[in-house]
Structure 1
Amino acid sequence: MPTAIIADDERLMRDQLKSRLEQVWPELEILDEAKNGEEAVALVETHKPDLAFLDIRMPVKTGLEAAKDIGSKAHIVFITAYDQYAIQAFDHGAVDYVLKPADVERLTRTVERLKARLTAQSQPNDMSIMLSQLAKQMGIAPKPDYLQWIQASIGQELRLIPVEEILFFQSDEKYTRVQTATYEALIRKPVRDLADELDPALFWQIHRSTLVNAKAISGVVRDLRGRHLVQIKGLTEKLEVSRSFVHLFKQM
């Protein structure tokens, strides 16, 4: 008896797909259901199903990210609500898909393909290259692995600092100052390197030597010389914005 798991963050969609599958493929056993991509990966590890039905857009991990982690442990079937251009991308990649909400006629065609694969006892495809192409075609960029912690020195002590607690980084010729709300530390990595390793949505570069946590900005003022200065919440210190980065604050 073939087995499967279903992953979709919408319960109604999970229930509807399950109901449609019972109609067109009564022999298929649905072992479990997941609400996000991370749960789907865990269910595949636990149950070792033949098939994994994965919604493309899910929290925590998308369907594409989950499929990459699942690899060749199960045949992947994507659940998608995309238009015809995206469906062509699936067809050209020979990836099985279900268009949601699940239509009995279309689902029947997908099931026939899946049955043929399982009957032939073909191994699940390694889809890593295909997944990257699909993500690019469908505008779902993989999430970069940004720094989550900074290892910094405070006197003789080495401390791990969560990046979300850091208000700003500021470099001089030798060190980079790491400023939090309660203390400062030093690291040897320059701002130009940190700029590539930190989430640009969280840390804005305002000067060639300064990165500031956008959530820590309380305002921007201009001094008598016409310079833009960033005010940091909880600090009296102001950080200069170079002309190259003034555009970041046009709407503020």
Structure 2
Amino acid sequence: MRDQLRMRLGQVWPELEIIGEAKNGDEAITLVDELKPDFTFLDIRMPGKTGMEAAAAIGGRSHVVFVTAYDAYAVEAFERGAVDYVLKPPEQERLKITAERLKERLARPAGDVNASVTAMLSQLAEKIATPKPKFLQWIQASIGQDLRMIPVEEILFFRSDEKYTCVQTEKFEALIRKPVRDLAEELDPSLFWQIHRATLVNVNAIEGVTRDIRGRHLVMIKGRPDKLEVSRSFLHLFKQM
């Protein structure tokens, strides 16, 4: 994720100098003390101290930008302007907005927003600590006039178009109205990987990854001719394969 963020920042803000990288919250605090950066990008969940704990320790010494997957409530908290945020995986268009906000914020001391940051961190910590509902075990999907209950383990992939999401199993295809974005939050991320803004794939159904003549990465599905495109934002999922 650090590699991807560094690359994307270099594309949208070439003048930005990245002066240090940390593997965890404790290292981040130490580096801020030593290097005194204008901005610090913190993942919310890190080994040792979390991003929120690190941000509280950093205080007004650096403007904080959170890198987070928790868009369900992060957006509400962060849009108040105390700090900025970037959703995982970092998209180039969103980082352009972040870069412009940070350039404007250079004119203000980081300490000016301390009270707002403290209140936001407290609220966000409370929401993250709230027990999350269990992952979906079944999908209700339509096949013609019939409604089927499909165990999620039997689903090979989900793929959305403008109105519907296709639910593909080994034996049949069904349709639901729930978008992939919502499904990604409700399904076990260790079982279903999002490989495109419109596609979720069952990890156990992946046969491999290939490239076409246009250089696109495509996921091959076991026992099927389907090849699902992987967007650049999700290529990091297959680095270990």
Structure 1 CA distance for aligned equivalents of residues 130 and 37 of structure 2: 26
**CA offsets, 1:188-224, max 9 Å, x none?**
xxxxxxxxxxxxxxxxxxxxxxxxxxxxxxxxxxxxx
Alpha-carbon shift at residue 95 of structure 1 (Å): 2.1
- Could you state the TM-score of these two structures normalised by the residue count of structure 1? 0.48
Q: Which residue of 1 aligns with 2:4?
A: 16
Matches within 5 A, 1:1-252: 13-92=1-80, 94-118=82-106, 120-124=107-111, 125-126=113-114, 127-139=117-129
Unaligned stretches of 5+ residues in structure 1: 1-12, 142-252
Q: CA deviation at 1:130?
A: 2.4
* Cα root mean square deviation, aligned: 1.8
How far apart are 1:116 and its partner, in Å? 0.5
Between the aligned partners of 1:22 and 1:29, the Cα distance in structure 2 is: 9
- The structure-2 alpha-carbon separation of the partners of 1:40 and 1:140, relative to structure 1 and needing over 3 Å to count, comes to farther
Q: Is the 8 A contact 1:89 1:137 kept in 2?
A: no
Percent identity, aligned pairs only, is 62
Cα deviation, residue 93, structure 1: 5.5
Please state how far the C-alpha of 1:90 moved relative to its aligned partner: 1.7
* More helix per residue: 2
CA-to-aligned-CA distance 1:4-62 (integer Å, 9 cap, x gap): xxxxxxxxx00000000000011110011001000000000010000100000001000
Distance 1:121 1:95, change over 3 A: closer
- Cα distance in structure 2, aligned partners of 1:133 and 1:24: 31
Which secondary structure does the structure 1 equivalent of 2:89 belong to? coil
Q: Residues of 2 paired with 1:83 and 1:123: CA distance?
A: 24
Mapped to 1, the partners of 2:41 and 2:10 lie a distance apart of: 14
Alignment partners' CA distance in 2, 1:94 and 1:61: 21
Return the TM-score normalized by structure 2: 0.50
1:133 deviates by 1.6
Q: In 2 relative to 1, CA 140–56 (structure 1 residues): closer, same or farther, beyond 3 Å?
A: farther
Distance 1:133 1:16 in 2: 29
For these two proteins, the number of residue pairs brought into alignment is 128
Give the C-alpha shift of residue 82 in structure 1.
1.4
SS state at 1:98 partner: strand
